[in-house]
């Protein structure tokens, strides 16, 4: 009787294992390519000062962490920030990823890269800043990727900071 129970339990375990769902496919490489393609389009739309398209790369609940500024929460607030930036006649921006990683689960990815941004100084003269950024993406229900967190900072030392 004990042997029969062991055989039944072993058979049930084997059957359950055979019926288990297969592991989902590893889409990391395709997801990383999708992020690279997204950022190529995003930098073009940002350079064209297209506020609506630029904001469209961000999730509704995104956060933007710009240097020396309060946290910007939500796509609508980010759009206000973008409008103010592109209103500057000297504004220009470009960015490119140097590293993109996607999760094995296929729902999150991040990019690390460099940027160049030109703005007006207090005398309305153009000043170009170069720096780095990290952007975290989340795959949306429709399969698109949206930025949920975007942070950037300058490579230039702050005023009064000792040289590096």
Q: Output 157 or 59, whichever has higher pLDDT.
A: 59
Contacting residues for 156 by C-beta, under 8 A, at least 6 apart:
129, 130, 131
pLDDT, residue 48, reads 96
Indicate the average pLDDT of the chain: 89
pLDDT at 22 over 90: no
Among 143, 155, 146, residue whose Cα is nearest residue 39: 146
- Written as six digits, the tokens of 86 are 């592109």
Pinpoint the alpha helices (H) of 69-146. Answer: 75-86
Among 87, 93, 57, residue whose Cα is nearest residue 75: 57
pLDDT, residue 24, reads 73
pLDDT, residue 122, reads 93
Domains of the chain: 25-154 (3.10.450.50)
Whether the model clears a pTM of 0.85, i.e. scores above it, the answer is no
């Amino acid at each position: 009787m004990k042997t029969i129970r062991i055989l039944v339990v072993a058979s049930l375990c084997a059957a359950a294992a055979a019926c288990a769902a297969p592991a989902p496919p590893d889409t990391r490489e395709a997801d990383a390519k999708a992020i690279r393609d997204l950022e190529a389009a995003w930098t073009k739309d940002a350079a064209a000062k297209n506020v609506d398209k630029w904001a469209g790369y961000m999730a509704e609940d995104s956060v933007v962490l710009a240097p020396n500024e309060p946290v910007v929460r939500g796509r609508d607030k980010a759009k206000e920030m973008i409008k103010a930036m592109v209103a500057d006649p000297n504004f220009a921006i470009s960015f490119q990823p140097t590293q993109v990683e996607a999760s094995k689960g296929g729902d999150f990815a991040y990019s690390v890269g460099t940027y160049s941004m030109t703005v007006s100084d207090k005398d309305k003269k153009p000043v170009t800043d170069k720096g780095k950024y990290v952007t975290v993406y989340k795959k949306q229900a429709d399969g698109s990727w949206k930025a949920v967190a975007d942070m950037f900072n300058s490579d230039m030392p702050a005023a009064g900071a000792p040289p590096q």
